[in-house]
Structure 1
Amino acid sequence: MNKEAIREIVQEIVRNTLQQSKKVPIAASNRHIHLSPEHVERLFGRGYKLNKLKDLSQPNQFAAKETVTLIGPKGKIANVRVLGPARGSTQAEISLFDGFSLGVKPPIRTSGDIKGSEAITIQGPRGQVTIEEGLICAARHIHMHTIDGEAFGVHDGDHVQVKVDGERGVIFSNVLIRISSKYKLEMHLDLDEANAANIKNGQLGEIVAVESKRG
C-alpha cells in the first residue's frame, strides 16, 4: 500500500470520527488579502504571477510569497500576506483591532460580500491602488464538504453554535455554515476571537445547536 492510499485511509478515519462526535477542527485566520489579476499587476508589475509559499488547508488555496502594506487614515499595516490564486475582486480581511490601527471600521461580512464595505489603500513594491470597497472583517464560519454537511445534518447558509472547551471555554454563536464539494472541514475564526478564547490551531470545537436555517 503506497503513502497516498494510507493518507486517504487516515483522512477518512479522522473525518468519520469528527462527524460522529460533531467536532470541527478550528483555525485562526490572520489578516490577509485576495487580489484580482489586475491588481496583482498594478502592485507587482505587468505580467506578474503570484508565487506559492505554502498550501493552505482548503484545497487549491495557497499563501503566496508576496505581501503588501495596507494604508488607512490613521496608520498602516505592513507584510499582509497575499493568498492565491488571484480572484475576480480584491478583498482584504482584517480583525476589528486591525481596523482601529488603520482608522477604519470594516463590517463583519461573509467572504465575497464586499458591497458597501470599507475602502483601503494597498501598497505593493511596484505600485499602489485604492479600492473603494473590499475591506472586511470575516464572519466566523465553518467550511464543510457536502459529505460533512449531510453527516452533520446542516445546509449551506445555516447558522450554528460551537462550543470550545478549555481554560477560557466559550460558545460561539452565529457561526455560518459554508458547504461545497471543494471545501475541507474546518472552522475559521479571526485572531481577535481565537486569542480571546485562547484557541490554538487544530483545537476542536463541537457543534451543539443549529440556531437558524437558511432562508
Structure 2
Amino acid sequence: MATLDVNVEVSARHVHLSQEDIEKLFGAGYELKVKKEIAGGFVAEERLTITGPKRSMERVAILGPARKGTQIELAATDARSLGVDAPIRLSGDLAGTPGIKLTAENGNSVETEAGCIVAQRHVHLSEEDAAKLGVEQNQNVDLKIDTGKKRALVFGDVIVRIGGPVSVVHLDTDEGNAACTGRACVGTVIAE
C-alpha cells in the first residue's frame, strides 16, 4: 500500500459554458470576464440562475474558458433541491444527463438538453506523484481525511487523473462538509 498527502479543494456548484451558449446568454462574440484565476482556467465575473423543476438557484459561478459542451456541476443536495436527477460522472461525460434552464442577469436564457452532473470525486496527480503511488489514469484510490474535528472518514472511488503540475483532490460541497474540510485541508491518498 502506498500513500501520498495532497491538498483537498472543495468545489461549489458551477457551470462550464460552450461558446455557443455564452453567445446566446450574453451576445454575439461575447467573452467571459475574468474575476479570479484558478488552476486550468478562471472564475468569471458573470453569474447565472439555474432553474430546475422544483426551484432556482441564483448567482451560480461560471468557470472559463469556454468548453466544447455546457456542463452544470452540482452537489447531490443541489440536484435534489432543484429536482434534477443528475448522475455521478467524470467531467465531460454528459451523455444521457438531464438538462436545465440557465438565465443570465440580462434576462437571456438557454434550456440545455443535457449537462447536469454530480462530479465524481477525483484526484489530479502530477506524473511524479502518480509514479510514487504506482497508479494509472482512471484508477480508483481511497482518500482519508482527518481534520481533528471528530468527522474523520475515508472516501472510496476517487478517480485518478494524471497530468498537470500540482497534485490536488477535488470534492464537492457535500463531501467537503461531511469531512469538515474547511479552507485548508490535506488528505491522504491511499493506493492498494
1:33-112 superposed matches below 5 A: 33-56=15-38, 58=39, 60-112=40-92
The runs of 5 or more residues in structure 2 that have no matched partner are none
Question: Which segment is superposed worse, 33-42 or 158-167?
Answer: 158-167
Amino acid in the other structure paired with 1:159 = N
Q: CA contact under 8 A between 2:3 and 2:191: conserved in structure 1?
A: no
Structure-1 residue corresponding to 2:185:
203
Structure-1 residue corresponding to 2:98:
118
Looking at structure 1, the residues matched to 133 and 10 of structure 2 have their Cα atoms a distance apart, in angstroms, of: 22
Q: 2:160 aligns with which of 177, 182, 189?
A: 177
Q: Number of residues paired by the alignment?
A: 188
TM-score between the two structures when normalised by the length of structure 2: 0.93
Shift of 1:96: 0.8
Q: 1:189 to 1:133 in 2, by over 3 A?
A: same
Shift of 1:155: 1.1
Q: 1:83 to 1:73 in 2, by over 3 A?
A: same
Structure 1 stretches of 4+ with a deviation exceeding 6 A read: none
Larger radius of gyration: 1
Looking at structure 2, the residues matched to 48 and 33 of structure 1 have their Cα atoms a distance apart, in angstroms, of: 16
Percentage of identical aligned residues: 40
Q: CA contact under 8 A between 2:3 and 2:190: conserved in structure 1?
A: no
Shift of 1:126: 4.9
Q: 1:161 aligns with which of 121, 138, 142?
A: 142
3-state SS, counterpart of residue 85 of structure 1? strand
- Superposition RMSD in Å: 1.4
- Higher RCO (CA-CA < 8 Å; seq separation 6+): 2
Q: CA contact under 8 A between 2:135 and 2:191: conserved in structure 1?
A: no
3-state SS, counterpart of residue 190 of structure 2? strand
Q: CA contact under 8 A between 1:119 and 1:131: conserved in structure 2?
A: yes
Question: Which segment is superposed worse, 149-158 or 90-99?
Answer: 149-158
Q: CA contact under 8 A between 1:27 and 1:200: conserved in structure 2?
A: no
Q: CA contact under 8 A between 2:75 and 2:174: conserved in structure 1?
A: yes
Shift of 1:21: 6.1
Looking at structure 1, the residues matched to 153 and 126 of structure 2 have their Cα atoms a distance apart, in angstroms, of: 25
Q: CA contact under 8 A between 2:4 and 2:188: conserved in structure 1?
A: yes
Shift of 1:189: 0.5
Question: Which segment is superposed worse, 124-133 or 60-69?
Answer: 124-133
The runs of 5 or more residues in structure 1 that have no matched partner are 1-19, 211-215
Which structure dedicates a bigger proportion of its chain to helix?
1
Which structure dedicates a bigger proportion of its chain to strand?
2
Looking at structure 1, the residues matched to 35 and 47 of structure 2 have their Cα atoms a distance apart, in angstroms, of: 11
